[in-house]
Structure 1
Amino acid sequence: MVWKTTLGHILGKATPPTAADPARAAEMRARVVAAGSARLGRSLAIRHVAAGSCNGCELELRATQNMVHDLTQYGFTFTPSPRHADILLITGVAGRNMVEAARQARAAMPEPVLVVACGDCAVDGGVFKGSPAIAGGAEAITAIDLFIPGCPPTPAQIVQGLLALIEAHSFPPKKPRR
């Protein structure tokens, strides 16, 4: 059996991974279809910014791309360029050294943009709340449309959060750049 590597695993509190649930995946796929192509129109690109994290959230975020969770089947892709992104996903405590970089990434993104804070640290600073080295979570950088709590959140929580985000917001087609 493969064990999930998380902070709990490092501290000796390992938990077995959850088994893939085909019924749950089919239900989430049906939710995307119900949201309709008018909302998606095409796949949505995610720009991830790690604003000072322990990489626990990043490990779980990368697990959303494996064959168990397969984020691409729901119409989401990751992009290295903020100019091609529809969603800005921020992980980490918003360290003072990363605030300006995250703001620049947000400013480079064409409208409409949705912003997601992923993990307890991005939500409010997590266990580092009150430290002078951090700005206090992703809200210190920009307005947040969705909070996904957890230390770290599971891949299923991340996928469900992103699906809820597209269900709640309508995405008009973007105008091509010239």
Structure 2
Amino acid sequence: PVTASTTYSSVKDLLEDIGKSIQKQAKDAAEERSKEKLQGDVLRATIREGRMIQSGIAELCHLDYQWHTNVTSGKSNPCEGRADVRFSDVIGGQCTNSKIKGNEVKYGKDIGACAPFRRLFLCDHHLSYMNAGKTNTTDNLLLEVCLAAQYEGESIIKNYPQDHNNNEVICTALARSFADIG
């Protein structure tokens, strides 16, 4: 914790310590507000297959969109419709009015929010089919998000420029892509 008597070797170390303290306070406050309401267990997620309902069959890191989802009946790969251009120094974010709800057109130009480039290609296609009848527990919600995370991770590893292909950079790319989900 940051105290008046703590000494730091650099301003960076001081700021990192302050950041850790703020992050811990925010985390503790969020946990207190939710009181475990948002905790899920993938093994308790139920998967409907016709009239049959199964649970305990989803194994993390080996999820398959054809079987481990309730929102698309196994017909939609989370990366479906996403371009292979995951990382670009040329293409930027998207501000297209038709793609971003709430944007306005003034003087013939789209104004308002823009989606960051990384958000345009996130492997979360199946999440757009979620509704209360299909994803009705935190366990099932966790299953759907884990499915997206698995396919997103595979996509990042496959498409990340080879000269930057190391674990730390890939983990950062994955963390940033899922920060957009919230």
TM over 0.5: no
Q: What TM-score do you get using the length of structure 2 for normalisation?
A: 0.22
Q: What TM-score do you get using the length of structure 1 for normalisation?
A: 0.22
Structure with greater strand share of residues: 1
